[in-house]
């Protein structure tokens, strides 16, 4: 979507993904097409299908002998069945094989691709992993459980009916896109299968903006999970593609280190192709701080300057999230970096043994501010603070999951999935006041700097005090002392975070 939006905005957009399915879908979606021609081809396929569709068990077996379909291709290890053909009933296989045969025989390549786009959507529905739920919706195992899970009671849909449904939705997408992307600007759009770890088709310093949304650790095995689609659509995936895929686990059982190395290579490549003073937005979601640490550290080593992070929540909750609310995050952070000629490094705050208290205090602040907070909200704030104050490293060494810590200090409301302060109890911080003050002041000033705002002293006091409501509250003089260490006073009396590279603030 990013590349498509770029072209709509009059820019050039390049979409790159290691998965040929992603490239096929994107390319076909934007390809200008004569809708009458597509309509005629669709009608032809439907007509032929109705004529040849298997109606009896004998028909099904004859169809299966007559038309090819993918078979003998192994599925990922955690699938319920070993081979691709076992994902379908004989009837489903015969119907899909016939439909594919009819599409393959459509003359024009670009029309054929559009029919295959409909077919790819249909595949989600016509297989034994698909089932409807009590709310009227439904999905395949891949989309819902992130694995090929045979449904205990698969929903057997009518292939031709859903081919028609796909036709209507592609038609409406095409109608919407036609005024925006057409023969006049399609040359601004490029999509190719490739690896972000080696962007050899893109020249150094030629790109104005990078938006990247890499896989999140071991969460979703994209290439493995696309096996059914890539096989039916004849989209090849090579061993090299699998080696380059930036995931943890999967068919090649990649380790966390391999994942981090590939991620680091891709960040260096993104740096290479980006022009100076241009930005990269990096989308990521995981509650394990060590991934964040790797990303931020690699980006800094490559020469990027951290420019801030914004949380972005998903509008829909995945099934996994509904099942395990505190272990799967539904929201992501978008971390922005700039390719600067002399990048400023993130300041470091050494929290030592006080880290746990500060984590809890940060969580408590988020909970108080929002009158109850979800794991995502707390996590986002902690990751952002961890990045901005340079303690991600420590966070990642101490915790790979903050949920147990939060569970032991706060009450989780099962219904709203929000953490609250336990009744009649307040978490009392045992951290020295000045360290707490540094912690919140540094984060506060970093954000003000990113927003291009210099607060005056009374604003600072007003904003900082609520964060320090636990335990002792500082005198204004103490705030001023710490402020002088971290920031400088401008001629107009406003305060700005000191610049000048890395600064270690080793406690008090
Ligand atoms: C989190 S998904 C992004 C999904 C996409 N933003 C969307 O909303 O559908 C991660 C994507 O990274 C791709 N990917 C994994 N390794 C890659 C690599 N080395 N080069 C390019 N893309 C890669 C996967 O195929 C997958 O499509």
pLDDT given at position 469: 66
Question: Which of 120, 196, 239, 259 for mutating ligand 1's site (highest number of atoms within 8 Å of CB)?
Answer: 196
pLDDT given at position 425: 62
Euclidean distance between CA atoms 280 and 288, whole angstroms:
22
Nearest CA to ligand 1 atom 3: 213
Regions of the chain short of the pLDDT cut 70: 313-331, 347-353, 424-431, 469-472, 500-508
Euclidean distance between CA atoms 159 and 92, whole angstroms:
8
Of ligand 1's listed atoms, the one at least distance from the Cα of 262 is: 19
Cα of 16 vs centre of ligand 1, distance in Å, is 8
What is the token pair recorded at 148? 């090929």
pTM as predicted:
0.81
CA distances from 499 to 485, 487, 488, 503 (A): 12, 8, 9, 9
pLDDT given at position 268: 96
Determine whether the shortest distance from the Cβ of 265 to ligand 1 is under 6 A.
no
Euclidean distance between CA atoms 376 and 383, whole angstroms:
10
pLDDT given at position 349: 65
CATH topology (fold) of 433-505: Arc Repressor Mutant, subunit A (1.10.10)
What is the token pair recorded at 488? 């400088």
Cα of 213 vs centre of ligand 1, distance in Å, is 6
Q: Closest Cα partner for 242 from 14, 15, 16, 20?
A: 20
Determine whether the shortest distance from the Cβ of 351 to ligand 1 is under 6 A.
no
| Rg, Å, the chain Cα set | 27
Q: Closest Cα partner for 101 from 90, 112, 91?
A: 112
Q: Closest Cα partner for 165 from 207, 113, 126, 214?
A: 126
The string of pLDDT tens digits covering residues 175-223 is 999 999 999 999 999 999 999 999 999 999 999 999 999 998 878 899 9
Work out the burial of residue 424: count CB atoms within 10 Å of its CB; fewer than 13 is exposed, 13-18 middle, 19 or more buried: exposed
**What b/e readout covers 35-56, taking b as 16+ CB neighbours within 10 angstroms?**
eeebeebbeebbeebeebbbee
Question: Which of 3, 5, 13, 18 for mutating ligand 1's site (highest number of atoms within 8 Å of CB)?
Answer: 18
Dihedrals φ, ψ of 388, to 5°?
-70, -30
Euclidean distance between CA atoms 306 and 300, whole angstroms:
7
Determine whether the shortest distance from the Cβ of 18 to ligand 1 is under 6 A.
yes
CA distances from 48 to 41, 52, 53, 54 (A): 11, 6, 8, 12
Euclidean distance between CA atoms 414 and 407, whole angstroms:
12
Nearest CA to ligand 1 atom 20: 195
Dihedrals φ, ψ of 276, to 5°?
-65, 150
Euclidean distance between CA atoms 31 and 372, whole angstroms:
47
Cα of 224 vs centre of ligand 1, distance in Å, is 12
Cα of 22 vs centre of ligand 1, distance in Å, is 8
Triad 387, 393, 395: Cα angle to 5°: 85
Determine whether the shortest distance from the Cβ of 214 to ligand 1 is under 6 A.
yes
Q: Where are the domains of the chain?
A: 33-177, 433-505
Nearest CA to ligand 1 atom 12: 214
Q: End-to-end CA distance of the chain, in Å?
A: 48
pLDDT given at position 472: 66
Determine whether the shortest distance from the Cβ of 245 to ligand 1 is under 6 A.
yes
SS3 at position 275: strand
Determine whether the shortest distance from the Cβ of 23 to ligand 1 is under 6 A.
no
Question: Which of 17, 21, 197, 217 for mutating ligand 1's site (highest number of atoms within 8 Å of CB)?
Answer: 17
Determine the longest span between alpha carbons in the chain, in angstroms: 90
Determine whether the shortest distance from the Cβ of 2 to ligand 1 is under 6 A.
no
What is the token pair recorded at 62? 């004859």
- Residue 55 bridge partners (DSSP): none
Cα of 346 vs centre of ligand 1, distance in Å, is 28
Euclidean distance between CA atoms 60 and 123, whole angstroms:
18
pLDDT given at position 434: 78
Determine whether the shortest distance from the Cβ of 120 to ligand 1 is under 6 A.
no
Determine whether the shortest distance from the Cβ of 16 to ligand 1 is under 6 A.
yes
Nearest CA to ligand 1 atom 4: 213
**Cβ(431)–Cβ(422) below 8 Å:** no
Cα of 18 vs centre of ligand 1, distance in Å, is 7
**Cβ(502)–Cβ(390) below 8 Å:** no
Determine whether the shortest distance from the Cβ of 130 to ligand 1 is under 6 A.
no
Nearest CA to ligand 1 atom 5: 213
Length of the chain: 508
Nearest CA to ligand 1 atom 25: 19
Euclidean distance between CA atoms 227 and 240, whole angstroms:
16
**Cβ(245)–Cβ(226) below 8 Å:** no
Euclidean distance between CA atoms 436 and 367, whole angstroms:
18
Cβ neighbours, 10 Å, residue 145: 17
Of ligand 1's listed atoms, the one at least distance from the Cα of 16 is: 21
Determine whether the shortest distance from the Cβ of 222 to ligand 1 is under 6 A.
yes
Euclidean distance between CA atoms 245 and 411, whole angstroms:
40
The string of pLDDT tens digits covering residues 121-149 is 999 999 999 998 877 788 888 888 899 99
Dihedrals φ, ψ of 281, to 5°?
-105, 130
Cα of 222 vs centre of ligand 1, distance in Å, is 7
The two beta strands, 495-497 and 487-489, are antiparallel
At which residue do the structure tokens 């600067």 appear?
340
CA distances from 12 to 15, 188, 189, 191, 206 (A): 10, 5, 6, 11, 11
Instruction: Enumerate long-range contacts of 132-140, CB under 8 Å, 24 or more apart.
Output: 139/319
Determine whether the shortest distance from the Cβ of 60 to ligand 1 is under 6 A.
no
What is the token pair recorded at 195? 């690896």
**Cβ(4)–Cβ(11) below 8 Å:** no
Cβ neighbours, 10 Å, residue 504: 10
Determine whether the shortest distance from the Cβ of 19 to ligand 1 is under 6 A.
yes
Euclidean distance between CA atoms 54 and 72, whole angstroms:
23
């Amino acid at each position: 979507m990013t590349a498509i939006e770029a072209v709509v905005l009059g820019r050039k957009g390049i979409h790159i993904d290691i998965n040929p399915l992603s490239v096929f879908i994107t390319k076909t979606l934007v390809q200008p097409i004569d809708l009458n021609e597509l309509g005629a081809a669709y009608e032809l396929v439907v007509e032929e299908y109705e004529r040849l569709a298997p109606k009896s068990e004998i028909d099904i077996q004859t169809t299966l002998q007559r038309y090819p379909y993918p078979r003998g291709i192994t599925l990922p290890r955690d699938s319920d069945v070993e081979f691709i053909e076992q994902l379908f009933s004989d009837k489903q296989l015969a119907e899909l094989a016939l439909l594919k045969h009819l599409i393959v025989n459509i003359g024009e390549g670009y029309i054929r691709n559009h029919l295959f786009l409909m077919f790819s959507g249909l595949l989600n529905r016509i297989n034994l992993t698909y089932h409807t739920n009590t709310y009227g919706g439904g999905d395949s195992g891949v989309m819902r459980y992130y694995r090929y899970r045979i449904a205990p009671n698969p929903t057997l849909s009518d292939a031709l009916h859903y081919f028609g449904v796909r036709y209507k939705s592609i038609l409406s997408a095409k109608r919407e896109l036609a005024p925006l992307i057409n023969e006049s600007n399609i040359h601004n759009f490029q999509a190719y299968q490739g690896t972000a770890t080696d962007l050899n088709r893109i020249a150094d310093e030629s790109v104005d903006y990078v938006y990247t949304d890499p896989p999140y650790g071991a969460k979703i095995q994209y290439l493995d999970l696309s096996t059914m689609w890539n096989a039916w659509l004849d989209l090849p995936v090579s061993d090299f593609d699998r080696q380059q895929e930036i995931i943890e686990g999967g068919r090649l059982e990649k380790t966390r280190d391999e994942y981090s190395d590939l991620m680091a290579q891709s960040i260096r490549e993104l740096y290479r192709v980006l022009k100076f003073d241009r930005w990269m937005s990096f989308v990521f979601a995981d509650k394990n701080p060590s991934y964040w640490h790797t990303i931020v550290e690699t980006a800094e080593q490559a020469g990027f300057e951290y420019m801030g992070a914004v949380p972005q929540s998903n509008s829909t909750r995945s099934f996994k999230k509904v099942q395990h609310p505190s272990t799967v995050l539904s929201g992501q952070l978008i971390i922005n970096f700039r390719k600067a000629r002399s990048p400023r490094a993130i300041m470091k705050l050494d929290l030592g043994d006080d880290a746990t208290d500060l984590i809890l205090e940060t969580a408590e602040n988020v909970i108080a501010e929002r009158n109850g907070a979800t794991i995502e909200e707390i996590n986002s704030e902690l990751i952002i603070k961890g990045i901005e104050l340079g303690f991600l490293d420590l966070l990642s060494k101490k915790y790979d999951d903050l949920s147990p810590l939060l569970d032991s200090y706060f009450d989780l409301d099962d219904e709203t999935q929000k953490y609250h302060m336990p009744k009649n109890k307040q978490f009392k911080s045992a951290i020295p006041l000045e360290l707490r003050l540094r912690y919140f002041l540094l984060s506060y000033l970093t954000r003000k700097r990113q927003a291009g705002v210099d607060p005056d002293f009374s604003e600072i006091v007003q904003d900082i005090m609520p964060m320090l409501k636990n335990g002792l509250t500082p005198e204004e003089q103490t705030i001023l002392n710490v402020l002088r260490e971290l920031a400088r006073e401008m001629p107009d009396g406003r305060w700005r975070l000191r610049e000048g590279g890395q600064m270690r603030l080793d406690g008090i």
